[in-house]
C-alpha cells in the first residue's frame, strides 16, 4: 500500500499532523534518512516548544468556540482537528483555496533549510551544484505529470504570476501585429485583471460567455478568433464550480488557426489527466499549494516546439532561460517537485478516494429540498462540489457552520459580499448566487468528516429555513415571482 494511503486511510484525521511532526523531526536529525522508516523518532526541542505553544493556543481556542445560532436546538459536536498542534479547529473542506502540505513534501524540503543551503545558480562550487541538481530533479517531476520536456518548465511564485506572465508575456511579444486575446467570463481574477491591464495598453479582449453548465461554446470560440488573435486563455478546471473546459477541442482549434493556447491549470494539474501534446496546450499555469506542496511556488509550462515566445515580466540575472529572473528557492522547488511526483504515483488512489467522498457528499446534499448543483455534472473534477441552498443566505449558512472551514467561492473574493461572478455567468440570480457554498475534498479528507458535514448542513439549512419568511411563503404555496416587493 502507498504511504499516503497509510496516512490518510488508516490513521484517523487528527493523527495526520502528529505524524507530520514526527516525520519532519527525522529530517532535522539526518537529511539522508528516509522519513518513512523513521517515523517513530522523538520530536526535537523545537517541536516540543511549538507543541507547548500550541497547548496554550488550544486552551484559548476552546474558550472561543463558535456557538450555534440563537434559539437553535442544534448541538455543536466539537470537531477536534490537530489537537496537539493547533487546538480545536474546524473540519477543513476548502481544498480549492489551498491544500495541506503532505508530510513527505515537508520532509523533502527541510534538508534545504539545514544542510543544503547553496545558491542553485552558484556554478563554481559543490554547494551550488547540489541544490541545482535537486532543482533539475524537481523540474523533471513537474514536467512528467503533463508529459512535457523539463526544459519547458519555468519556475515561478505561483499560478498568479504564471497567468500574468503568459498573458502579458505573449501579448507584449507579439503585440506589434497581434492585438487580440480571447478568454472567458469565468476565469480567475488574476487572468481577468491581467486582461484589463492589457486593454489599457491597447489590446482588445473577447470575454466568452459560458452556458448554464459553466462551459464555453466551441462555436463562440471559433467565431471569436481573428487574424490578429495572439492568444486564447481558457482555464482547465474552474476554482468555484469544478467544471472542466473542453481542452482538447480548444487546443485543436487554436493549433489549426495558429493561435497560442494558454490554460490556467491551478485547479487541474495532477487532478485530471493532462498531456500537453495531446491537448495542444502551448502555455499552462501551475500552482504548488493546490497539490499538497508549499505556497509561494508554481510553474509555467512554455512550449518549445512550435516555440512560444514571451516577453519576461521580471528582468535580472537571466535565470529560468531568461524568462523569469531571480534566485530560485530550493526548499520550495524541491517540495513542489515532490508534491508533483506524489500526485503522479498516487493518482489512482487519490482519484478513487475523492470520487467516493464527493459522491457521498453531493448525493446527500442534493437530497435536501430546494438545492442544486452548480456546474456540469459530467464534465467536472469531483473534488469541487458547489451547491445552492435556496431560501438560505450563504453568508448566514457559513456563519452557522463555524465548525466547518468552507467558502462561498474564490478565496480572493470571499472578503467581499459580492455574489460570485462565476455563478452569475452561469445565469444564477443574486439570491441563488448568494446561497451557494463550495465544498472542497482532497487527499486527507476522511469519510467521518464528510458524514459530519452532511449532518451539520442538513440541520442548519433546515434551521435557517425555519427562520426565513420567504421559505414560509414557499411552504404556503405562494409563487415568490408573483410578489411585488415594496421599496423603502
Ligand atoms: C484557477 C486559479 N488560478 C490561479 C490561482 C492563483 O494561484 P496562486 O495562489 O498559486 O497564485 C488560483 C488560486 O486560487 C486558482 O484557483
Between the alpha carbon of residue 84 and those of residues 17, 18, 127, 308, the distances in Å are 9, 7, 37, 50
Cα 159 to ligand 1 centre (Å): 5
How many angstroms separate the CA atoms of 50 and 47, rounded? 5
- The alpha carbons of the chain give a radius of gyration, in whole angstroms, of 24
The answer to whether domain 113-344 and domain 347-482 are alike in fold is: no
Closest C-alpha to ligand 1, atom 14: 97
SS (H, E, C) the chain: CCHHHHHHHHCCHHHHHHHHHHHHHHHHHCCCCCCHHHCCCCCCHHHHHHHHHHHHHHHHHHHCCCCCCCCCCCCCCCCCCCHHHHCCCCEECCCCCCCCCCHHHHHHHHHHHHCCCCCCCCCCCHHHHHHHHHHHHHHHHHHHCCCCCHHHEEEECCHHHHHHHHHHHHHHHHCCCCCEEEEECCCCHHHHHHHHHHHHCCCEEEEECCCCCCCCCHHHHHHHCCCCEEEEECCCECCCCCEECCHHHHHHHHHHCCCEEEEECCCCECCECCCCCCCCCCEEEEEHHHCCCCCCCEEEEECCCCCCCCCCCCCCCCCHHHCCCCCCCHHHHHHHHHHHHHHHHCHHHHHHHHHHHHHHHHHHHHCCCCEEECCCCCCECCCEEEEEECCCCHHHHHHCCCCEECECCCCCCCCCCCCCHHHHHCCCCHHHHHCEEEEECCCCCCHHHHHHHHHHHHHHHHHHHHCCHHHHHHHCCCCHHHCCCCCC
Q: So what's the pLDDT on residue 54?
A: 33
Residue 297 CA, ligand 1 centroid: distance in Å:
11
CA–centroid distance, residue 287 to ligand 1 (Å): 7
User: How remote is the CA of residue 412 from the centroid of ligand 1, in Å?
Assistant: 9
Residues with CB under 6 A from ligand 1: 96, 158-160, 188, 190, 235, 239, 264, 266-267, 287, 298, 411
- 380 touches 244 (CB < 8 A): yes
- What distance in Å separates the CA atoms of residue 486 and residue 474, rounded to the nearest whole number? 19
pLDDT tens digit sequence for 278-316:
999 999 999 999 999 999 999 999 999 999 999 999 999
- Measured distance CA(465)–CA(469) in Å, rounded: 8
Residue of 161, 238, 290 best suited for mutating to test ligand 1, as the one with most atoms within 8 Å of CB:
290
pLDDT reported for residue 58: 37
Centre of ligand 1 from the C-alpha of residue 160, in Å: 6
Contacts of 44 (CB under 8 A, 6+ apart): 25, 28, 29
Pocket test for ligand 1, best of 191, 192, 266, 295 (most atoms within 8 A of CB): 266
**Residue from 195, 230, 254, 412 carrying the catalytic annotation:** 412
Q: Point out the ligand 1 atom lying closest to the alpha carbon of residue 287.
A: 10
| Sequential pLDDT tens for the chain (488 residues) | 333 333 333 333 333 332 332 333 333 223 333 322 333 323 332 233 233 333 333 334 444 545 555 555 544 444 445 555 555 789 999 999 999 999 999 999 999 999 999 999 999 999 999 999 999 999 999 999 999 999 999 999 999 999 999 999 999 999 999 999 999 999 999 999 999 999 999 999 999 999 999 999 999 999 999 999 999 999 999 999 999 999 999 999 999 999 999 999 999 999 999 999 999 999 999 999 999 999 999 999 999 999 999 999 999 999 999 999 999 999 999 999 999 999 999 999 999 999 999 999 999 999 999 999 999 999 999 999 999 999 998 778 888 888 999 987 644 444 556 789 999 999 998 888 889 999 999 999 999 999 999 999 999 999 999 988 888 888 888 877 777 766 55
pLDDT of residue 257: 98
Domain made up of 347-482: CATH architecture: Alpha-Beta Complex (3.90)
- From the list 183, 413, 361, the residue with the least C-alpha distance to 283 is 183
For the four alpha carbons of 438, 380, 262 and 292, in that order, the dihedral sign comes to positive
Distances (CA, A) of 341 to 137, 158, 197, 283, 434: 10, 18, 36, 21, 38
Question: What is the per-residue pLDDT for 30?
Answer: 31
Residue with the nearest Cα to atom 7 of ligand 1? 159
pLDDT tens figures, 194-225:
999 999 999 999 999 999 999 999 999 999 99
Number of the ligand 1 atom closest to the C-alpha atom of 161:
11
- CA dist 261 and 305 (Å) reads 13
**How many Å apart are CA 172 and CA 164, to the nearest integer?**
11
Looking at ligand 1, which atom is closest to the CA of residue 98?
14
| Burial bucket for residue 296 (CB in 10 Å: 0-12, 13-18, 19+) | middle
For a ligand 1 pocket test, name from 96, 161, 190 the mutation site with the most ligand atoms within 8 angstroms of its C-beta: 190
> Which CATH number is associated with domain 113-344?
3.40.640.10
State the closest ligand 1 atom to the C-alpha of 297, by its place in the atom list counted from 1: 10
Q: Report the pLDDT value the prediction gives residue 399, as an integer from 0 to 100.
A: 87
Other residues' Cβ atoms within 10 Å of the Cβ of residue 5: 14
To the nearest 10 degrees (0 to 180), the angle between helices 159-174 and 189-200 is 30
**In the block, residue with C-alpha cell 491537448:** 279
**Catalytic residue flag (residue 190):** no
Q: How far is the CA of 467 from the centre of ligand 1 (A)?
A: 37
Tell which atom from ligand 1 comes closest to the C-alpha of 160. Answer: 11
| Grid coordinates belonging to 405 | 472551514
Domains in the chain: boundaries: 3-89, 113-344, 347-482
Could you tell which of 97, 98, 159, 283 is best to mutate to test the pocket of ligand 1, judged by most ligand atoms within 8 Å of the CB?
A: 159
230 Cα–ligand 1 center, Å: 23
For residue 306, cis peptide bond before it (omega within 30 degrees of 0): yes
Amino acid at each position: 500500500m502507498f504511504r499516503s494511503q497509510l496516512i490518510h486511510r488508516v490513521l484517523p484525521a487528527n493523527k495526520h499532523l502528529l505524524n507530520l511532526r514526527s516525520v519532519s523531526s527525522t529530517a532535522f536529525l539526518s537529511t539522508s534518512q528516509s522519513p518513512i522508516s523513521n517515523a517513530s523518532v522523538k520530536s526535537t526541542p523545537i517541536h516540543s516548544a511549538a507543541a507547548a505553544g500550541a497547548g496554550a493556543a488550544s486552551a484559548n481556542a476552546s474558550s472561543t468556540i463558535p456557538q450555534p445560532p440563537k434559539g437553535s436546538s442544534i448541538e455543536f459536536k466539537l470537531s477536534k482537528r490537530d489537537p496537539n498542534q493547533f487546538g480545536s479547529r474546524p473540519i477543513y473542506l476548502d481544498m480549492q483555496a489551498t491544500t495541506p502540505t503532505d508530510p513527505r513534501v515537508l520532509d523533502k524540503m527541510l534538508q534545504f533549510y539545514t544542510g543544503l543551503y547553496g545558491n542553485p545558480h552558484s556554478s563554481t562550487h559543490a554547494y551550488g551544484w547540489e541544490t541545482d541538481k535537486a532543482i533539475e530533479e524537481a523540474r523533471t517531476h513537474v514536467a512528467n505529470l503533463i508529459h512535457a520536456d523539463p526544459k519547458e518548465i519555468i519556475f515561478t511564485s505561483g499560478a498568479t504570476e504564471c497567468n500574468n506572465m503568459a498573458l502579458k508575456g505573449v501579448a507584449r511579444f507579439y503585440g506589434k501585429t497581434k492585438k487580440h486575446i480571447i478568454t472567458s467570463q469565468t476565469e480567475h481574477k488574476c487572468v481577468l485583471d491581467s486582461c484589463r491591464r492589457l486593454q489599457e495598453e491597447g489590446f482588445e479582449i473577447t470575454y466568452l460567455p459560458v452556458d448554464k453548465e459553466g462551459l464555453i461554446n466551441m462555436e463562440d470560440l471559433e467565431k471569436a478568433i481573428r487574424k490578429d488573435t495572439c492568444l486564447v486563455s481558457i482555464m482547465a478546471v474552474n476554482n468555484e464550480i469544478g467544471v472542466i473546459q473542453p481542452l482538447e477541442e480548444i487546443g485543436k482549434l487554436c493549433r489549426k488557426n495558429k493561435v497560442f493556447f494558454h490554460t490556467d491549470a491551478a485547479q487541474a494539474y495532477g487532478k485530471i489527466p493532462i498531456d500537453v501534446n495531446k491537448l495542444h496546450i502551448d502555455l499552462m499555469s501551475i500552482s504548488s499549494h493546490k497539490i499538497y506542496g508549499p505556497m509561494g511556488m508554481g510553474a509555467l509550462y512554455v512550449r518549445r516546439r512550435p516555440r512560444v515566445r514571451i516577453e519576461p515580466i521580471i528582468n535580472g540575472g537571466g535565470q529560468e532561460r531568461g524568462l523569469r529572473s531571480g534566485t530560485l528557492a530550493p526548499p520550495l522547488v524541491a517540495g513542489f517537485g515532490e508534491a508533483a511526483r506524489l500526485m503522479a504515483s498516487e493518482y489512482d488512489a487519490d482519484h478513487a478516494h475523492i470520487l467516493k467522498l464527493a459522491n457521498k457528499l453531493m448525493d446527500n446534499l442534493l437530497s435536501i429540498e430546494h438545492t442544486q448543483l452548480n456546474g456540469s455534472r459530467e464534465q467536472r473534477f469531483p473534488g469541487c462540489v458547489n451547491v445552492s441552498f435556496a431560501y438560505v443566505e450563504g453568508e448566514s449558512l457559513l456563519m452557522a457552520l463555524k465548525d466547518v472551514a468552507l467558502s462561498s467561492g474564490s478565496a480572493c473574493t470571499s472578503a467581499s459580499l459580492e455574489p460570485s461572478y462565476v455563478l452569475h455567468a452561469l445565469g444564477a440570480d443574486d439570491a441563488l448566487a448568494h446561497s451557494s457554498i463550495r465544498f472542497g475534498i482532497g487527499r486527507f479528507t476522511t469519510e467521518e468528516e464528510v458524514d459530519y458535514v452532511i449532518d451539520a448542513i442538513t440541520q442548519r439549512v433546515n434551521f435557517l429555513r425555519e427562520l426565513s419568511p420567504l421559505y414560509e411563503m414557499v411552504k404556503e404555496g405562494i409563487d415568490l415571482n408573483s410578489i411585488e416587493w415594496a421599496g423603502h
